[in-house]
Structure 1
Amino acid sequence: MMNIKPISELRNYSKILDDVKPSHPLFLTKNGYGKYAVIDIDEYERLKLGLDLLNDLEKTKSDKTHNASEVLRELGL
């Protein structure tokens, strides 16, 4: 179940932050629409590492493909 609360509940932020758990973010709404997501710092780091990895993979993407035997030969294995 998604954890959704209006932003006005931030007045009692310690209670709100107790609801934030790894893999269980808190979504805050403003005027009835989703506006913010509060996530656990460990979850943030995990997501950031995943995005960094995807960005690195995207940078190295090329049109040329290699089969396993070509890779092993180039590595001298």
Structure 2
Amino acid sequence: MPYIRPISDLRNNFNEIAEICHQEGEPVFITKNGHGDLVVMSVALYEKQQALLELYAKLAEAEVESKSKAPKVSHAEVMRSMREKLNEQ
């Protein structure tokens, strides 16, 4: 369930809003004149969302690469090559 608070709560009850963000791990939506205006979240949640966005971008890039006509290497070939390199050392 989303947490929705008026902008006056941001000024008057900041500690309570911060506590919600940290304990619940959810963003708090701030309204101004009855309309959505801001979203407040913990740094941990922000970093988690940024990591997910980065992962999705890498997955999209990998999907495009897998559909390309570039030559493919099987898992067995990769493992054989890695073992050879390790044995050379």
Cα distance change of structure 1 residues 75 and 32 upon mapping to structure 2, 3 Å threshold: same
State percent identity of aligned pairs: 32
CA displacement at 1:55 relative to structure 2: 1.6
Counterpart code for 2:21: V
Counterpart code for 2:78: L
Correspondence for 1:43: 45
Alignment partner for residue 71 of structure 1, among 74, 81, 89?
74
Report the 3-state secondary structure (helix = DSSP H, G, I; strand = E; otherwise coil) of the residue aligned with 1:75: helix
Counterpart code for 2:20: D
CA displacement at 1:4 relative to structure 2: 0.5
RCO higher in 1 or 2 (8 Å CA, sep ≥ 6)? 1
Any conservation in 1 of the 2:29–2:36 contact (CA below 8 Å)? yes
Structure 1 unaligned blocks of 5 or more: none
Any conservation in 1 of the 2:31–2:38 contact (CA below 8 Å)? yes
Q: Give the paired residue count.
A: 75
TM-score (norm 2): 0.63
Correspondence for 2:18: 17
More helix by share: 2
Structure 2 unaligned blocks of 5 or more: 81-89
Measured against aligned partners, the alpha-carbon deviations of 1:27-71 in whole angstroms (never above 9, x if no partner) come to 101121112111121111111111011122323423338xxxx52
Cα distance change of structure 1 residues 31 and 72 upon mapping to structure 2, 3 Å threshold: same
State the structure with more CA Rg: 2
